[in-house]
């Protein structure tokens, strides 16, 4: 395929940004798509400690929300798929806001492509990972290393995506001990740092994520306008 026929993906770094602020940025890009002037973007960021819960949230009572907030984290209800997870510093969060008509207009294909992106990234670090049906995400044995939770909105017969994937790089894993991650009993979580026995930062991981995404989505990646994060320099992701 000639490069000119590939979709262009604009990468926008948010730095360290609160979950609610990043959600508003996502919504602004979605609105552009709905107005017919959208572009395919990937938002990259880290979040201050926050527990987020998707549409399968019946098991979390207000008292449990208060318990988690007392740990020093936010608690946010979202419209993505899935149950509860944690986001925090040391976790590379990727929010693709895509018109799937530019790629393949299938939500099942899209989720699979995100999983394959995570698996390819892990392979570049020498880590063997896989999917674990029926659960979504990327797994190293029985431990999830990359969580995936998506939302889509139909517009003019095709899907606009939001939310995305979260890769544990050098995340403080103790935050996960206070929840059942993704509502999956009997499975755990891990990180690139835990698997390799050395510190792997989000900055180190980002170029591998972009290259894996480029290959899996057959797109051209360009640098977009940088958003201002809340408290951290932008990623140096294009090298």
Structure tokens at 98: 């895509």
Q: Please indicate whether residue 182 is annotated as part of the active site.
A: yes
Evaluate whether 82 touches 149 at the Cβ level (below 8 Å). yes
Catalytic residue among 94, 169, 182, 219: 182
DSSP lists the bridge partners of residue 52 as 76, 85
Structure tokens at 184: 């999956």
Q: What is the DSSP-derived secondary structure letter of residue 175?
A: G
Contacts for 160 with CB less than 8 Å, ≥ 6 apart: 30, 33, 34, 38, 97, 98, 99, 100, 152, 153, 154
Active-site residues, by number, are 182
């Amino acid at each position: 395929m000639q490069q000119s026929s590939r979709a262009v993906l604009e990468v926008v770094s948010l730095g360290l940004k609160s979950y609610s602020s990043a959600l508003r940025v996502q919504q602004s890009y979605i609105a552009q798509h709905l107005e017919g002037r959208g572009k395919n973007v990937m938002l990259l960021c880290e979040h201050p400690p926050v527990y987020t819960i998707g549409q399968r949230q019946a098991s979390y009572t207000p008292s449990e929300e208060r318990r988690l907030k007392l740990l020093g984290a936010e608690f946010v209800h979202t419209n993505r798929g899935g149950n509860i997870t944690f986001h925090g510093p040391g976790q590379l969060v990727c929010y693709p806001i895509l018109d799937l008509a530019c790629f393949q207009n299938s939500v099942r294909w899209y989720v699979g492509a995100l999983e394959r992106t995570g698996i390819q990234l892990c392979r570049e670090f020498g880590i063997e990972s896989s999917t674990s049906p029926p659960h979504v995400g990327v797994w190293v044995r029985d431990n999830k290393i990359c969580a995936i939770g998506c939302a889509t909105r139909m517009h003019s017969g095709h899907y606009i995506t939001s939310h995305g994937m979260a890769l544990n790089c050098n995340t403080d894993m103790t935050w996960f001990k206070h929840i059942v991650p993704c509502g999956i009993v009997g499975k755990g979580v891990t990180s690139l740092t835990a698997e390799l026995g050395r510190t792997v930062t989000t900055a180190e991981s980002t170029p591998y994520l972009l290259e894996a995404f480029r290959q899996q989505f057959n797109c051209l990646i360009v640098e977009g306008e940088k958003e201002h994060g809340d408290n951290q320099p932008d990623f140096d992701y294009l090298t």
